[in-house]
Amino acid sequence: MTSRSQRPGDLLATAPVHAVAPAHTAAATPHELYGELFVAVQMTRVFGDGKSFVDARPKTVPSLIRARFEAERRLPGFSLSDFVHAHFELPGHDAAVGPRLGIREHIRALWPLLVREHAQAQEGESLLALPRPYVVPGGRFRELYYWDSYFTMLGLVADGRRDLAEHMLANFAHLIATHGFIPNSSRSYMLSRSQPPFFFRMVELLHADDPAAGFAAHLQSLQAEHAFWMAGEATLAPGQAHRRVVSTPEGALLNRYWDDRCTPREESWREDVLTAEAAKGRTPTEVWRDLRAGAESGWDFSGRWCADPADIATIETTALAPVDLNALLAGLENAIALGAARSGDTATASDFEARAAARRLLLQTRFWRADAGHFSDLNWRDATDPRPLTAAALVPLYLGIATQAQADAMAAQVQRHLLGTNGLLTTALTTGQQWDAPNGWAPLQWMAAQGLLRYGHTALARDIAARWCASVHRVYLATGRLLEKYDVAEDKPGGGGEYETQDGFGWTNGVFAAFKDGLLRP
């Protein structure tokens, strides 16, 4: 029996475990390096957070650690915890800012504390080398993240740290040149997936006076990223899929989230093993692929991705063409067209103008639920599957892809279903997952407000920004912390998901600063 997310048309149902961009090499992951030691540490929960071990640095070469483990593991009195602490340097915690400051001063003081440099990788560690300094989100997130960084860069520019924003853009260009794409983060165990493609928006941010010139300067990187997302498009027949590209039964090309591995996520190994065990009528590799694809989306996790929103074991990310991903790819295609035109490459400009126009039309038609009055994800093989309203439905407005009538209808839907006391709800689903109600997230507040503003819904855009920023400020006054997510119903940290709410926090700092410099400027 074939489940909803494992279908006959999928060409990679038995894909190799690791298939990242054939022309590029990938660093070994902790599971590959440490084998049974890795599995034992993660499954017995030596650490409460599975990310602790995969971020640890070995004190000697991995092969020696592995040999010692095999020699000692069955000896009387062997302690796995003692062994790990003896052989690995565990990740530390970020320093605190110090005395309580005003919130804007606190954010400015945080930027230097979140800066990292890692130009030379050590054998056996998961952290990838990068040529320039970069800003991390904070807390357990000790590395460069892809889509987080765009929203962080908004605040860096607002706070006069354009130098750091330019360093981060250079690091992302380096990752594309090195790996053929931008990974989820600068960790070896995330080299099999990307995240929402915001590189073109980073370029635009840093070339605000002449975006086309920026796109021309970064044209090779933009085209390489597009090629990563579209790999396999030339061989697809209608109804088939290959990695991140899908062809609808009518032959329209769209994109989905994917991961080139179908094993448990190394940073959440135990959680993924248990989720697969709870799944009914599905193979573990199918469940793990969909969990990993959910992580590529950045929305890890949400009932948005599940056949039964209340049951993560029904996750079916690869069965869906997400509205936000396809809107971002339309934006990327338009950026390439503008950059190619500025460079004098008329053939490429014409090709990508046509690609962007075709995708815009699909978004305005196939992704629009006329019966409900909102954009939604598309089950690319089953058009009758009614996907729920989520904050992702505002990304077509953010990128100028919606019609005015669609934007007006979306504004009404936001007012009716997604506007909370403290800003924009992620979804109207209450599932216990962190990318569902009652949580609100900085990037979604930004894209919603900017999208609504673009279509003339200025009062609603300002209202979302003001509600969210006021809550962030109140929680800061109560706790002294800036957090990764917030409860949109009450003045408190957001919750749910696989780990405790983290503070720092890159994209919250960035969006708060950008709102205060823009929509909410006195």
- Dig out the tokens for 2 from the structure: 């074939």
Looking at the DSSP bridge assignments, the partners of residue 439 are 487
State whether residue 245 is helix, strand or coil. Answer: strand
Secondary structure E strands in 248-336: 253-255, 320-321
**What HEC string does 193-239 produce?**
CCCCCCHHHHHHHHCCCCHHHHHHHCHHHHHHHHHHHHCCHHHCCCC
Q: What are phi and psi of 88, to 5 degrees?
A: -135, 145
Which residues are known to be catalytic?
Answer: 300, 484
Instruction: Tell me if 206 sits within 8 A of 167, measured CB to CB.
Output: no
Q: What are phi and psi of 285, to 5 degrees?
A: -65, -35
Instruction: Tell me if 496 sits within 8 A of 434, measured CB to CB.
Output: yes
State whether residue 456 is helix, strand or coil. Answer: coil
Segment 429-433 long-range contacts (CB within 8 Å, at least 24 positions apart): 429/302, 429/303, 429/304, 429/309, 429/388, 431/302, 431/303, 431/309, 431/310, 431/496, 432/496, 433/301, 433/302, 433/303, 433/312, 433/496, 433/497
Measuring CA to CA, which residue among 208, 193, 203, 33 is closest to residue 125?
33
Instruction: Tell me if 477 sits within 8 A of 459, measured CB to CB.
Output: no
CA dist 93 and 91 (Å) reads 7
Instruction: Tell me if 272 sits within 8 A of 291, measured CB to CB.
Output: yes
CA dist 113 and 346 (Å) reads 45
Rg (CA), the chain: 22
Angle at 36 between CA 32 and CA 41, to 5 degrees: 100
CA dist 196 and 102 (Å) reads 33
Looking at the DSSP bridge assignments, the partners of residue 242 are 245
- Dig out the tokens for 71 from the structure: 């020699």
DSSP state of 121: P
